[in-house]
Structure 1
């Protein structure tokens, strides 16, 4: 069954949180999709993933790439899973996909300082429960480590 993780960002930027989560996913042998809600944001994440740290490399592409299906990390705007991802990251208020069975995890990352993002996350939480999906809520502690909350 698909596990849904809600990551609540407070005083943290997605650009600082997403790369380590993607690295951990790749270390586990998982392919990933990162779904955003605008081309501009997807392009900005694309550029950031190439340069976020000098000593790291996150192999990825956008949905526009001819070899998108072969990429370990694929940045997208719409539903679909062309690279056979086991994990789908939903950012910038991207909604849960209609079909979740193909994923081991859905990771919804939302900005706790944004009222619209909070409302979207609450709606997604309700949607998860209505679909019978297991959802967990995660928040960073004062040292920036993710802690599961009830």
Structure 2
């Protein structure tokens, strides 16, 4: 059973925090599915991920192409992970269920700490996942660097 990691974005926008987490996941040898709620926003993320670094790029693709199963990082609004992802990253309020956590090593919920609705949605996901027995950690960057602020054993 996987672990849920909540990332409370207060200093870094999604386009900064997500590439950092994706790079760490790829370094671990994991395939990742990034689940969003809006196809237009994922299209924007797709373009952004191609230009995040002068040193290189994060290999990825948008779901719906002929090579979805081969993508190390797949951006999707769907619930499936045709790339056999070991890590699920949910952005923009995308739902993560206990069943999702059971199919991956790690489920990451990234949420905008400057949006009260996003914060409340993340709190609801924390309650639902921990009540279902999923181990969870809450990370905040309020102090200028990522710090673990809470943990539930699941």
Q: TM-score, normalised by structure 1?
A: 0.95
- Alpha-carbon shift at residue 99 of structure 1 (Å): 3.3
Give the structure 1 partner of residue 4 of structure 2: 4
RMSD (Å) for aligned C-alpha atoms: 1.1
Pairs within 5 Å for 1:42-81: 42-81=42-81
Indicate conservation of the 8 Å contact 2:3/2:134, yes or no.
yes
Give the structure 2 partner of residue 132 of structure 1: 133
1:4-29, Cα deviation, whole Å (9 max, x unpaired): 00000113200011001100000000
Q: Structure 1 stretch 8-17 or stretch 41-50: which is displaced more?
A: 8-17
SS at match of 1:56: coil
Give the structure 2 partner of residue 105 of structure 1: 106
Indicate conservation of the 8 Å contact 2:31/2:84, yes or no.
yes
Give the structure 1 partner of residue 117 of structure 2: 116
Give the structure 2 partner of residue 142 of structure 1: 143
Q: TM-score, normalised by structure 2?
A: 0.93
Give the structure 1 partner of residue 13 of structure 2: 13
SS at match of 1:132: coil
| Gapped regions of structure 2 (runs ≥ 5) | none
Indicate conservation of the 8 Å contact 1:11/1:113, yes or no.
no
- Alpha-carbon shift at residue 135 of structure 1 (Å): 0.7
C-alpha distance in 2 between matches for 1:58 and 1:117? 26
- Alpha-carbon shift at residue 141 of structure 1 (Å): 4.8
Indicate conservation of the 8 Å contact 2:34/2:88, yes or no.
yes
Give the structure 2 partner of residue 89 of structure 1: 89
Q: Structure 1 stretch 92-101 or stretch 48-57: which is displaced more?
A: 92-101
